[in-house]
């Protein structure tokens, strides 16, 4: 049987989502907790890979077991007790055998948080960036971004993908208060490093160090070396992963 997990995590202490040799990942931590609770090796597949230091308010993963699980509130509570405090499971629910956490997803929504004021309690959760930013120019850049589908210029150079096309649903900047800005972006898929590189480039625009015409030329060039540097990981959040209603049908019943 196949089950989906809905979870969230603070990515500060992890070397990203995916299991890797050089550090502790969210995936391996979650697999260890499930293996301990179920008494057999459990391997999971996430909806996507977040980089080291990136957070997720909503992430999905799937795993397979031979026997049905007794999905009580106490069962989920027991796994959360095994997990560290910076990873939380919100739901576990059955899906069809061919439903896939990564390939069944039809959208991802990210936010990036920037603050002009240093906050001792938020240093790993927002990007402290002091220069004044022109939000109107940055939103004009967003309007240009939405006219395109090829984002090779914002993808890490060694990304192993077959194409660089993404369908953006929205992209915009918003003041959350006097000192904080949030970038919102949603698409059917994202390239490796794409959101952080877009943010880093738009910060150049917001400071008046890059024109809107230059920004569009960067997109058209399809060359990562001419885009701005990537913004730090600590301000980035995976906020929502979208699936067809039938995939999440059992989630509503749990």
Q: Catalytic residue numbers?
A: 51
Write the Ramachandran bin of 16: left for phi over 0, alpha for psi from -120 to 50, otherwise beta: left
The whole-angstrom separation of Cα 85 and Cα 87 is: 6
**Which among 38, 219, 36 has a CA at the least distance from the CA of 142?**
219
| DSSP 8-class letter at 4 | E
Helical segments of the chain, H only: 26-38, 73-82, 135-145, 194-206, 212-221
Residue whose tokens read 């910060």: 203
The bridge status of strand 180-187 relative to strand 87-95 is unpaired
CA nearest to 168, candidates 148, 193, 183: 148
Q: Report whether 77 belongs to an annotated binding site.
A: no
Query: Which segments are annotated as binding site?
Result: 110
Residues making up the binding site for substrate: 110
């Amino acid at each position: 049987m196949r089950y989906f997990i809905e979870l969230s995590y603070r990515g500060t202490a992890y070397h990203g989502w995916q299991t890797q040799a050089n550090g502790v990942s969210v995936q391996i931590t979650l697999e260890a907790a499930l293996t301990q609770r179920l008494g057999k090796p459990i391997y999971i597949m996430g909806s996507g890979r977040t980089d080291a230091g990136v957070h997720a308010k909503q992430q999905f993963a799937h795993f397979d077991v031979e026997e049905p699980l007794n999905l009580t509130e106490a069962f989920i509570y027991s796994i959360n007790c095994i997990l560290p405090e910076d990873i939380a499971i919100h739901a576990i629910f059955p899906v069809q055998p061919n439903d896939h956490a990564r390939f069944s997803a039809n959208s991802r929504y990210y936010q990036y948080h920037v603050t002009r004021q240093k906050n001792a309690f938020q240093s790993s959760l927002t990007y402290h960036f002091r220069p004044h930013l022109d939000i109107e120019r940055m939103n004009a850049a967003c309007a240009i971004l939405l006219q395109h589908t090829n984002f090779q210029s914002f993808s890490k150079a060694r990304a192993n993908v077959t194409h660089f096309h993404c369908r953006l649903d929205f992209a915009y900047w918003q003041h959350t208060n006097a000192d904080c800005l949030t970038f919102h972006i949603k698409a059917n898929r994202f390239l490796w490093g794409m959101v952080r590189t877009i943010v880093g480039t738009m910060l150049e625009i917001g400071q008046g160090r890059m024109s809107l015409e230059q920004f569009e030329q960067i997109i058209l060039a399809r060359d990562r070396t001419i885009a701005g540097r990537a913004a730090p990981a600590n301000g980035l959040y995976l906020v929502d992963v979208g699936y067809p209603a039938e995939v999440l049908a059992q989630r509503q019943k749990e």
